[in-house]
Amino acid sequence: MGLSWKEGVLTILLGAAAASGLTTLILFLVEATSILLPADTKFGIVFDAGSSHTSLFVYKWPADKENNTGVVSQALACQAEGPGISSYTSDPALAGESLRGCLEEALALIPEAQHRETPTFLGATAGMRLLSQKNSSQAERIFAEVARVLSQSPVDFRGASLLAGLDEGAFAWITINYVLGSLLTYTFSGEWARPPEATLVGALDMGGASTQMSFVPGGPILDASTKASFILYGSSYSVYSHSYLCFGRDEVLNRLLARLVQVRPARAGRHSGLARHPCYHSGYRATVPLAPLFESPCVHTSMPPGAAQNLTVEGAGNPGACVSAIRELFNFSSCEGQADCTFDGVYQPLMQGRFYVEVSYPEHASWLRDYCASGLYILTLLLEGYGFSEETWPSIEFRRQAGGTDIGWTLGYMLNLTNMIPAKAPAMKQAENYGVWAAGIVLVGLTLGAILGAAAVQLLWPRD
């Protein structure tokens, strides 16, 4: 028996309603899927060109940032082969070539489609600062070669330049506080929040050519040249920061040895260089070239006249004399009677809270002779220079990493850079847009269903 015309029309209407409902459901699921998928990930590359070596770091963060700042994590750390770029004065092209290996590792990690939008920056620190003082043309040639290599790479190259000492210290402060969760923390309620200011820590970076001190003081920063200001995750910070060029470990050891050099007559009537080193263990004896000691701008004396090309170094094993020799490298008298002064007349407000110390120069077994001098230098710097005491010493922690992340200026630089990189609409705004869209889809579906239903009633039960 065939269907009546009313039943046929009703079947068509019901089919249309089912198709409409199915279409609405598909659209709903497609949009929900696009909303629930993880946000796009952005990447950034930073080269840290230090005095003794160059390191590359790759960072990543979700495209939808938190209060305009990315929630950044370290994705790769790579140490370039060879010494720091300031060592390539005789062949600047090698400075650029030394970066290729780590750069290739970074590009292999980052999706190829995102290479062109990946910001890449090289910041040179104290080693290149010293070279710029000594021979600016050599420094410029090295920067040119580094820029040539990086600009040829398929990335968004932002430049290769000197990083100011103030910025180096301040960015390191951002890094350690971010890694420790003192700038941003994820609460149990599933929201990002700013921790109490009391959780902030100070940062001490002890490198090969310089050392940096950075912290948020309890009062105002009276010297504007030591103040760095940031807005991170919607909060403002004023950080005291100062970099002491020539007070990194390598330069301190060079300056110390240069002060100990004496000229003595040799039996054959010729002169030779001799240094009796109180910090080297008794019985140590070695011959080293003399001229390189006096090439650094940190050494303010010239090579003694009549000295031979080589220097004979003899260890004396005298810790007391070692401390006295190291203290002579600091000008403590310039800060006598001043509570807000460290040494060499440098302003520093009163310290507060905990401090994390990053020792960023590499250790090597061949440097065993320098362990005594290095340790006593660190003690002198922290106790007599920066003003730590027996009571505040427990507030210092020595770290190279925290939470699996390298402590240094590079992560802080990238966090600050994310403030200037456009982001997608925040997740909350996407959710709001999705809610409006979903409500519109449901309303259209309900309206169509009501119309179809009314038509079906009119067909099946017409009025008399």
Residue 419: what pLDDT? 83
CB 221 within 8 Å of CB 238: yes
Q: Residue 405 domain-assigned?
A: no
Least confident of 279-293, 338-352, 424-438: 424-438
Least confident of 75-79, 127-131, 174-178, 405-409: 405-409
Task: Count Cβ neighbours within 10 Å for each residue of 241-273 and write b for 16 or more, e otherwise.
Answer: bbbbbbbbbbbbbbbbbbebbeeeeeeeeeebb
Q: What pTM value is reported for the model?
A: 0.80
Q: Residue 401 domain-assigned?
A: no
Residue 28 has pLDDT above 90, yes or no: no
Asked if 226 and 346 sit in the same domain, the reply is: yes
Strand order in the sheet with 271-277: 261-265, 271-277, 310-315, 285-289
Residue 318 has pLDDT above 60, yes or no: yes
Alpha helix positions (H), 299-426: 319-327, 371-379, 409-418
Residue 364: what pLDDT? 60
Helix (H, G, I), strand (E, B) or coil at 201: coil
Q: Using the 3D structure, point to which of 146, 163, 180 is the last residue of a domain.
A: 163
Segment 54-63 mean pLDDT: 94
Domain count, the chain: 4
Asked if 64 and 189 sit in the same domain, the reply is: no
Asked if 147 and 190 sit in the same domain, the reply is: no
Residues 6+ apart with CB under 8 A from 240: 213, 214, 215, 216, 217, 221, 226, 227, 348, 349
Provide φ and ψ at 404, rounded to 5°.
80, 10
Asked if 339 and 379 sit in the same domain, the reply is: yes
Asked if 263 and 315 sit in the same domain, the reply is: yes
Segment 317-324 mean pLDDT: 96
Asked if 270 and 286 sit in the same domain, the reply is: yes
Question: Which residue has tokens 């994705």?
Answer: 75
Q: Residue 404 domain-assigned?
A: no
Q: Which of 60-74, 256-270, 416-430 is modeled with the greatest confidence? A: 60-74
Range of the domain at 66: 40-163
Please give the structure tokens belonging to residue 89.
Answer: 């004065």
How far is residue 357's CA from residue 337's CA, in Å, rounded to a whole number?
27
Q: Residue 239 domain-assigned?
A: yes
Asked if 105 and 228 sit in the same domain, the reply is: no
- For the chain, give the mean pLDDT: 83
Please identify which of the residues 168, 314, 363, 384 carries the catalytic annotation: 168
pLDDT band at 403; cut points 50, 70, 90: confident
Which tens digit of pLDDT belongs to each residue from 177-235? 999 999 988 777 777 778 888 889 999 998 889 999 999 998 999 999 999 999 998 89
Q: Which amino acid would we find at residue 351? A: M
Q: Using the 3D structure, point to which of 144, 163, 182 is the last residue of a domain.
A: 163
CB 137 within 8 Å of CB 144: no
Task: Clarify whether 31 is annotated catalytic.
Answer: no
Segment 54-72 mean pLDDT: 89
Q: Residue 136 domain-assigned?
A: yes
Going through 216-354 in order, the beta strands assigned E by DSSP cover: 227-232, 235-245, 261-265, 271-277, 285-289, 310-315
Asked if 241 and 360 sit in the same domain, the reply is: yes
Q: Residue 315 domain-assigned?
A: yes
What torsion, rounded to 10 degrees, do the Cα atoms 84, 88, 94, 99 define?
A: 20
How far is residue 13's CA from residue 214's CA, in Å, rounded to a whole number?
74
Asked if 182 and 154 sit in the same domain, the reply is: no
Q: Residue 408 domain-assigned?
A: no
Q: What's 50's domain CATH number?
A: 3.30.420.40
Asked if 49 and 154 sit in the same domain, the reply is: yes
Segment 30-53 mean pLDDT: 73
Percent of the chain with pLDDT over 70: 78
How far is residue 406's CA from residue 72's CA, in Å, rounded to a whole number?
13
What torsion, rounded to 10 degrees, do the Cα atoms 281, 286, 289, 294 define?
A: 20
Q: Residue 366 domain-assigned?
A: yes
Q: Using the 3D structure, point to which of 327, 349, 366 is the last residue of a domain.
A: 327
Asked if 227 and 356 sit in the same domain, the reply is: yes
Asked if 222 and 370 sit in the same domain, the reply is: yes
Strands 235-245 and 271-277: unpaired
Which tens digit of pLDDT belongs to each residue from 98-115? 999 999 999 999 999 999
